[in-house]
Every structure is written in C-alpha cells, then in structure tokens.
Amino acid sequence: MTVEAGQLLGSGIYTIPQVALLVSARIGDVRVWVEGRQGKRAQQPVIRNQIGRIGRTVAVSFTNLMELRFVARFSGAGVRLNAIRDIMDEVKELLNHPHPFATRIVFKTDGKKVVAELLGKNGFHTIYDPRTRNYEMWAIVLQSLKEDVIFDPSGEIAAWFPRKAVAPNVILHPAYSFGRPILRRSRIPTEAIAEAFKAERSQQAVAELYDISVGQVREALNFEKHLRMAA
C-alpha cells in the first residue's frame, strides 16, 4: 500500500528508524515487527500497518507506533515475538478491535480482566500459564505503558510522553508536526530546537529565537540527547 503524506495529516507519520529511536529498539527488530521476514527465520508482521509506504519509504501511523511501543516493551521483558503476536491477535479477537493496544480498552484494571478472560479461553495453558508469572508481568508492563499516555474521550491514545522522566513536557501528538516530539505548550519540535542550538551554540539565543524559556530549550536538548543515547 502506498499513500500520500497529504492524506495522513493528523494520523502521525513515522519511519522505521524513527520508531526504533522512540521505542528504544533495534531498527532490524522494528522492521521485522512492521514488515515481517522471509527465509529460514520467516516471521509474519506483528502489526497491521495503517500506512505502508510513502514513496519508497516504509512508514507507520501514531496508532501503529503505540502498538510497536507495546511490542518493544514486552520484547525487552523477554517475551518471545511469537508469544507477543499471539497475545495481540487474541486480544484483537477478544475485544473485536483492530488496534486494541492503542486504546484504553486493554488497559482497564491494568489488563487483568483481559488476561483472565484469555486464561479462561485457553484453558490455563499456552503463553498465559500462571506458573510462568506471565500474568503478573502483563499487569506490570501494561501499568508502565499506561502511565505516560493521554486518552481522548473515545478511549483512543491521543498523545504520548516518550521520555516523561527526562522531559515531562515533551509530547507526541499525531495532530501536530506529523506526530514528531514537540514541547507541549509551544508545539515546537525538539529536533528544530536541537538544530538551532547547533547553529547558535547558545541556549539563550535559541530561547529568544523561539520565544520560549531557557528551561524549555534545555529540556528539548536533554530529550534529544537521551533519545540518541538509547539508539
């Protein structure tokens, strides 16, 4: 599927390298999650990509980014990709929603209700076996994923604080700057602030350029530095 950028205003647009930075994962892993892999180690894509390609570049939406954030967090916790795919597929079927991990639905009661229903459906075996402590891990990881997002009135994830501990005022909102990280109040992209600092070499000069405080400049720079350090 190929789409034009003008059709995606308000949905957010992210390339695979951008996703990898934001969710703290390897580019190769993200590519497999988005596009799958052929050959002896064949894998099906984990998400249903809402965008596909813009020209020759593979891109995903903000909704997909929220799903990939889920995949990255559970993969980082040691859950195998096939198990993550099974979780996502079964939750989609259970909740009758194509992208439940980008909504409030799956986060209700920290996900315990969803897990309990899946445990019952599967006869207390497969990947949800309580003896493996996956039940507790599910709840812990989902709670951490819920703490840095904002839901809209319909229950969809509307915005994400990608590094809340480091930069509490940096947010991703699909309606602004194609979903790039921005300062929450001014809506200035942190990347633009970082580029301006490279040219000016002065936080005060950048603050005056964008009519923001030096503290906001510093927070944007800290965010960009932290993002690259995790790559």
Predicted pLDDT of residue 121:
56
Helix, coil or strand: residue 21: helix
- Count other C-beta atoms under 10 Å from residue 109's C-beta: 11
- Dihedral sign from CA coordinates of 82, 90, 18, 214: negative
Nearest-Å Rg of the Cα atoms of the chain is: 19
Predicted pLDDT of residue 36:
92
Q: Which residues of 116-148 are buried (b: 16+ CB within 10 A; e: fewer)?
A: eebbeeeeeeebbeeeeebbeebbebbeebbeb
Say what the pTM is: 0.86
**At CA 99, angle to CA 43 and CA 92, rounded to 5?**
75
Measuring CA to CA, how many Å separate 215 from each of 7, 164, 189, 192, 203?
36, 16, 15, 16, 9
Q: Which residues of 35-70 are buried (b: 16+ CB within 10 A; e: fewer)?
A: beeeeeeeeeebbebbbeebeeebbbbbbbbbbbbb
Predicted pLDDT of residue 148:
93
Structure token pair of residue 203: 């936080």
Please report the DSSP string for 199-226 in residue order: HH--HHHHHHHHT--HHHHHHHHHHHHH
Predicted pLDDT of residue 229:
78
Q: Looking at this protein, which amino acid is placed at residue 154?
A: S
CATH of 161-231, one of 2.60.40, 1.25.40, 1.10.10, 1.10.4030: 1.10.10
User: Taking the C-alpha atoms of 100, 101, 103 and 105 in order, what is their torsion angle to the nearest 10 degrees?
Assistant: 60
Predicted pLDDT of residue 111:
58
Predicted pLDDT of residue 110:
55
Tens of pLDDT along the chain (231 residues) come to 444 444 555 789 999 999 999 999 999 999 999 999 888 888 899 999 999 988 899 999 999 999 999 999 988 888 788 888 887 888 888 778 899 889 988 776 555 666 666 555 554 344 444 345 455 667 677 778 888 999 999 999 999 999 999 999 999 999 999 999 999 999 999 999 999 999 999 999 999 999 999 999 999 999 999 988 765
Contact 84, 49 (CB under 8 A): no
